[in-house]
Amino acid sequence: MLIVKLQANITALAIAMLMALPLHSFAREGVDVGGNSVMAKLVPAQDVERSAQQQYAQMLQQAAAKNALAPADNAQLRRLRGIAQRLIPFAIPWNERAKDWRWEVNLIGSSQINAFCMPGGKIAFYSGILHTLQLTDDEVAMVMGHEVAHALREHARERMAKNAATGIGANLLGQFLGLGQLGQTVTNYGAQLLTLEFSRSDESEADLVGMELAARAGFDPRAGVTLWQKMGAANKSAPPQWLSTHPSGSTRIADIQANLPKVMPLYVRAKKS
């Protein structure tokens, strides 16, 4: 019931905001990251979203069995859902499928410094990222915006398609553009959704799109700098950039700072409205 109510509230808010803000304004303002990957189109979106829904439900069941799933009246969960309600309406212009997603936000008790958004709008935060980093609302919005951006930009579909293409053999890919065999192969990769690793370019793209989402929702995009400073302090033993698929903290901060002039006007406008 709470999930249905959250979805209804988000949908109503999205309609109101989209009526107030012409869609063409999104094309003229904000970050420039180009279109979604062509590779993603090789994987049926509905199949990936169905798999994500199943895996998300299993994860929640496992967390509940361990008494690690936050109840609806948990203060931090209410906080997360409130931030999501502000962010999600601005996600729709980035991906037309997002308006039909059954968005969910849940909090899992764990020391992990982690959060994610699976295809179809399935968001989860681990309590460790909130407690260890002592995140402000602006910083939470940057994390959530980043994770939502992965779903909007269909990075999971793209990564699964590339994995499937590698497994099948690039020379055979043309035979499967119709897509039975490839679709079946992708299904075999479905188990990776919770552990899928994105590329450096995916992570950088999600940083920028997430920053714009947060700014449009009235959250200070400069929080991306303090977020990655905190993340860096908590991950002093992290491998250097050239040994990791993730950009280094200093690179992410530099990219965020370089793009702040593109999103600060959106934030200022949102705060005035």
Please say whether the dihedral angle defined by the alpha carbons of residues 262, 268, 269 and 271, taken in this order, is positive or negative. positive
Query: Catalytic residue at 197?
Result: no
One-letter amino acid at 3 equals: I
Total count of residues recorded for the chain: 273
157 neighbors 119 (Cβ within 8 angstroms) = yes
Query: From CA 153, how far away is CA 156, in angstroms rounded?
Result: 9
Helix (H, G, I), strand (E, B) or coil at 28: helix
- Check if the beta carbon of residue 228 is closer than 8 Å to that of residue 138: no
| Cα–Cα distance list, 65 to 138, 193, 194 (Å) | 32, 21, 19
Q: Which residues contact 188 (CB under 8 A, 6 or more apart)?
A: 164, 167
Q: Active site residue: 49, 147, 154, 205, which one?
A: 147
Q: Annotated catalytic sites, by residue?
A: 147
